[in-house]
């Protein structure tokens, strides 16, 4: 895959997230926090998933919960990072995850989800 065709993890804020989940069929968002060792450890695998063929139709986002009021509120009871799957603007799944395999499993459930027509 050439750099021109490579998908990227996009940084977003709360307002952009609200728009993007309605503009894209499937969105996978990672909410992080500063000085989070687990966030740092999961950053490389998260970025790798973007390039994998099965996930090419999914928009990948990352949000800094410390800079986003809505994300910060969601993070109050969660351990950073947490991952949120959206389809057709609806939240499908939200989970605090610490292992790459668990992130991939949630991503696979999003990929397999059949949207309402």
Domain residue limits, the chain: 10-97
> Is the separation of the CB atoms in 85 and 110 below 8 Å?
yes
**CA 98 to CA 82: how far, in whole Å?**
8
Residue 58: both structure tokens together: 């999914």
Q: What is the mean pLDDT of the chain?
A: 87
CA angle in degrees (0–180, nearest 5) for 98-101-103: 60
Strand partners, 28: 60, 85
- pLDDT classification of 77: cutoffs 50, 70, 90: low
Task: Give the CATH class of 10-97.
Answer: alpha beta
What are the pLDDT digits (tens) for 18-44?
Answer: 999 999 999 999 998 887 888 899 999
DSSP single-letter state for residue 33: -
Higher-pLDDT residue of 17 and 1 is 17
- Report helix, strand and coil shares of the chain as percent, to nearest 5: 40, 25, 35
What are the pLDDT digits (tens) for 85-108?
Answer: 999 999 999 998 999 999 999 999
């Amino acid at each position: 895959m050439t750099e021109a065709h490579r998908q990227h993890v996009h940084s977003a804020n709360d307002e952009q997230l609200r728009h993007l989940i309605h503009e894209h069929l499937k969105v996978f968002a990672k909410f992080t926090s500063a000085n989070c060792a687990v966030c740092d450890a999961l950053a490389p695998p998260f970025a790798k998933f973007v390039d994998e063929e099965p996930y090419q139709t999914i928009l990948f986002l990352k949000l800094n919960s410390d800079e986003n009021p809505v994300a910060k509120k969601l993070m109050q009871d969660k351990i950073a990072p947490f991952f949120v799957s959206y389809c057709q603007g609806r939240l499908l799944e939200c989970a605090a995850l610490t292992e790459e395999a668990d992130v991939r499993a949630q991503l696979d459930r999003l990929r397999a989800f059949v949207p309402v027509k």
